[in-house]
Chain A
Amino acid sequence: MSTDERNTTEGGSPAAAPASPKPYWIGIGLMAMGAVWLYAGFGLPQGARYAAVGPGLFVTLAGGGLLILGAILVLQIWRGETFEAQDAEDADGSTKMDKRAFLTALVAVALPIVTMGPLGMPFTATLSFVLVANAFGSRRWWLDLICGAILACAAWFLFNQLGLQLGRFFPPLGV
């Protein structure tokens, strides 16, 4: 694979997000991930008795690929590659990051790991609903709570009917 010879396009408008212009950490992270995969790959048999290649080969390839790509990325960043945030339908890539909104949404996504099992899906989904709506600027949290609860309960009943295993309705009460 050749390194990309893109000369940095000076497309970043002055208003563009100054989102850490040199994201070396992505390249380093990729290299670290590649190293883990490589290590795991070498721990597996590369050849097998009947097949010419064993289960380790592809893991090694994936790890090696990530390691090299991470290194190339670091090099490109060092040479001044620009990174512009993507535009989405309701998002403007050139605005600054709203940390509070991001963290609120992140909590909404992380919450199920803790509460899904012990407190059940309807409860968790309602809480996440309120959090995400709040992250998007809704301040009528009572209304969100009611909307979220209705949606979560309706979805629980519907999808349970359709054969999904969503667990009990509210485990602490045993229902």
Chain B
Amino acid sequence: METFELLLHGFSVALQPTNLMWALVGSVLGTAIGILPGIGPALTIALLLPVTTALAPTSAFIMFAGILYGAMYGGSTTSILLNTPGEAGSMMTALEGNKMARAGRGAAALATAAIGSFVAGTIATLALTFAAPAVAELAFYFKPTDYFAITALAFCSVAVVMGTSRTRGFVSLFLGIAIGVIGIDAMTGQPRLTFGNMQLLRGIALTVVLVSLFAVGEILYVASRYRSTPGVMAPIKGQLWMTKQDFARSWKPWLRGTAIGFPMGALPGSGSEIPTMLSYTLERKLTKYPEEFGKGAIEGVAGPEAANNAAAAGILVPLLTLGLPTSATAAVLLAAFQNYGLQPGPFLFTSNPALIWGLIASLYVGNVMLLVLNLPLVGIWVQLLRIPRPQLYAGILVFAMIGVWGLAGSWMDLTIMLVVGLAGYVMRVYDFPIAPVLIGLILGPMAETQLRTALAAGQGNPLVLVSTPLSAIFITLAVLLLALPILLKRLRANA
């Protein structure tokens, strides 16, 4: 019952007028960037980071949560109407949703996506409400060894799951780790890999790397292979609402999608791609209308959309309780916490309950806002797609530039933006995953600290790393994960 009281307290924080306003700002911004190409939630939050330093942390995180959830709503709109999934998580939605839209059932597809997102978001937030304190309680007993083992596990799963091949996933991860060691060593004060450059002493900020990889890399890449004939937008016509039959066919996929999405989102590396893929495969197996799949089956929209949103809540569990990011967006949220001098983890639950519970409560509020914002107003949102692409991408570069320059006013950061942006371009051309770089960059220094603390406590004996039951399990899992790609390949072949 203690959780319930804390949640009530959280609502008293989230329902304050200023925080409600920030939740609204976040929801609007999130929906907008979910619809616009070339800009996603991770990039948006990274660009806002320097601006939000003037804001109270609670308000800032309430806004970020709105962006995180809103992007999921907005992403489904473009998948359905334009068949352009903005992110991997909406790929499956586009499969059936766009077919529905072309058959004149766009409104029903949008409705099942929005309501499914709402249902999944709310149930998953409920699950987060009760799972997070329990995990945090457990995390109190974690030793550095356990933390190191869990980051090692996160590294392996991110590298294995996110890339087309294990090698490419690990290349991305190690690039991130290598960038992460640049700067002053936190434990001894020794400068590392700074080549005598003063500006490199403070290390390379996650924001700079993220903006360069996501914004600059994307602009260079899209410019080089620009498809100037944009997809044809399917008009929203036909019956305006879901029929009774649509509802009957949607509610089970919503629940099943949630059940898949939430735990998968909490696992490192799975992001939103795998849960949506699983949900789609499952719905195709269970449906009573298998002949409709591939031609616009509503189950194929309802399930993956629910899974997508539930996964967004799922990533918050390891982030808030262990300080462990499992996706690019989670990595930038962790950077946001660090910007405020806060370290997510079990202690944050006791030291700053207003922030944690205000954030969780605002997720409920944000979901209601997003449902209201998206269902009736979808016609207005799609107008955003009328922004001509040349000016849109030019604008994104301007904001990227401001984000990097505004950080410290250093030309070194601008040079890094060019170099890392070029790397982002190369990674897109040769299909290397982007997110592991960011996970490696932000988790690398944490893994290093835990490793060194653990080894120091064990007087240098490497066996200390598997000395506790938890660490032994995690390290074993990490090794097993290296065999996972074979399994995944089968899954992809079936999907």
Contacts and interface: CB of A to CB of B under 8 A. Distances in A.
A10 interface: no
22 contacts: A2-B482, A17-B429, A19-B430, A30-B171, A33-B178, A52-B456, A52-B458, A53-B452, A59-B181, A66-B171, A66-B174, A86-B431, A105-B220, A113-B414, A113-B418, A121-B401, A129-B395, A132-B219, A133-B394, A144-B390, A164-B402, A165-B406
Contacts of A144: 390-391, 394
B142 interface: no
Interface stretch (B20-28, B182-190, B257-265, B365-373): B182-190
Given A53-B455, A155-B398, A133 B188 contact: no
B177 A124 contact: no
B197 interface: no
B218 A88 contact: yes
B388 A138 contact: yes
A52 B145 CA distance: 14
Nearest to B464: A52
B426 A4 contact: no
Contacts, number: 266
A76 B170 CA distance: 14
Interface in B387-407: 388-391, 393-395, 397-399, 401-402, 405-406
B226 A65 contact: no
Sort A-B residue pairs by CB-CB distance and give the 6 closest, nearest first.
A52-B460, A89-B37, A136-B390, A138-B390, A164-B406, A102-B224
Contact size class for B?
35 or more
B190 A52 contact: no
B394 A52 contact: no
A67 to B, nearest CB: 10
B484 to A, nearest CB: 12
A51 B429 CA distance: 43
Nearest to B395: A151
A113 B397 CA distance: 14
B216 interface: yes
Interface string B204-226: 00000000000010111111111
B290 interface: no
B219 to A, nearest CB: 6
A91 B399 contact: no
B167 interface: yes
A34 B177 CA distance: 11
A104 B177 CA distance: 31
Interface of A: 1-4, 6, 17, 19, 23, 26, 30, 33-34, 36-37, 40, 44-45, 47-48, 50-55, 57-59, 61-63, 65-66, 69-70, 72-73, 76, 81, 83-86, 88-93, 95-99, 101-102, 104-106, 108-110, 112-113, 116-117, 121, 124-125, 128-138, 144, 147-148, 151-152, 155, 159, 162-167
Given A121-B402, A164-B402, A4 B455 contact: no
A132 B51 contact: no
Given A1-B166, A90-B37, A62 B174 contact: yes
Contacts of A166: 402, 405-406, 409
B381 to A, nearest CB: 16
A83 B84 contact: no
A33 B393 CA distance: 31
Given A66-B175, A109-B220, A128-B394, 4 more contacts: A53-B452, A90-B38, A101-B224, A155-B398
A51 B417 contact: no
Nearest to B176: A62
Contacts of B51: 159, 162-164
A116 to B, nearest CB: 6
B1 to A, nearest CB: 42
B3 interface: no
